[in-house]
A and B are shown apart, each in its own frame.
Chain A
Amino acid sequence: ETGVTQSPTHLIKTRGQQVTLRCSSQSGHNTVSWYQQALGQGPQFIFQYYREEENGRGNFPPRFSGLQFPNYSSELNVNALELDDSALYLCASSLLGQGASWYFGSGTRLTVV
């Protein structure tokens, strides 16, 4: 176990709806990244938060947004859901400046119908 927890584990939403996914980082970690993993593919970087500010973003539209809280937990929000948003959403945490290792949660499986 990595100490990174995500909720919920599974979620079904209708196209056009909004969704919020949650992540608690490993104790002592100050940086959180979110990844989208489509079936049969490698994870794709969405964005990263460090000390409550976004400090990196992948090739995802603005309807993907996030937050990081003072306790370093994080949320991923997706507005106007599309069918192609169906994927496993992974959260990873790290201690920036202390190493290269990222520790992943088990993910939230989002299905958009």
Chain B
Amino acid sequence: GESVGLHLPTLSVQEGDNSIINCAYSNSASDYFIWYKQESGKGPQFIIDIRSNMDKRQGQRVTVLLNKTVKHLSLQIAATQPGDSAVYFCAEQRGLGSTLTFGKGTMLLVSP
């Protein structure tokens, strides 16, 4: 079936660097794409989402880019901090408030 997946299982960066986490999706019918952060022992925490009719959305220190031509989603974190260390999941949603289909996740490790 259709799914959301990630290119890189682990990303290691230095504190202060910019991080880019990538995600490939296969269902062009999805309406929303969402990034979640999951720290050890906690549930996924909403970071930012983007509608399928947009190609860029910015939040605080984070930017999500959507390229529908190649079905690619990325999360950019500016000035990465040790507190950003976590597993990041992209997820797709096929309608407002519908269920989420998650990818496998990328672990981000930030060294001081």
Which residues of A approach B to under 8 Å, CB–CB?
A: 2, 4, 31, 33, 35, 40-45, 48, 56, 58, 90, 92, 94-107
Contacts and interface: CB of A to CB of B under 8 A. Distances in A.
Contact of B103 (A40, A42, A100, A105): A42
Contact of B43 (A41, A97, A101, A107): A107
Contacts of A43: 44, 89, 100, 102
Contacts of A96: 97
A33 B59 CA distance: 26
A47 B48 CA distance: 24
A90 B100 CA distance: 12
Given A42-B105, A100-B49, A2 B43 contact: yes
Give the dominant DSSP class at B's interface.
Answer: strand
Contacts of B64: none
B81 interface: no
A20 B71 CA distance: 39
B102 to A, nearest CB: 3
A2 B89 CA distance: 18
Contact of B97 (A40, A90, A98): A98
Interface string B74-89: 0000000000000001
B102 A101 contact: no
B26 interface: no
Contacts of A107: 42-43
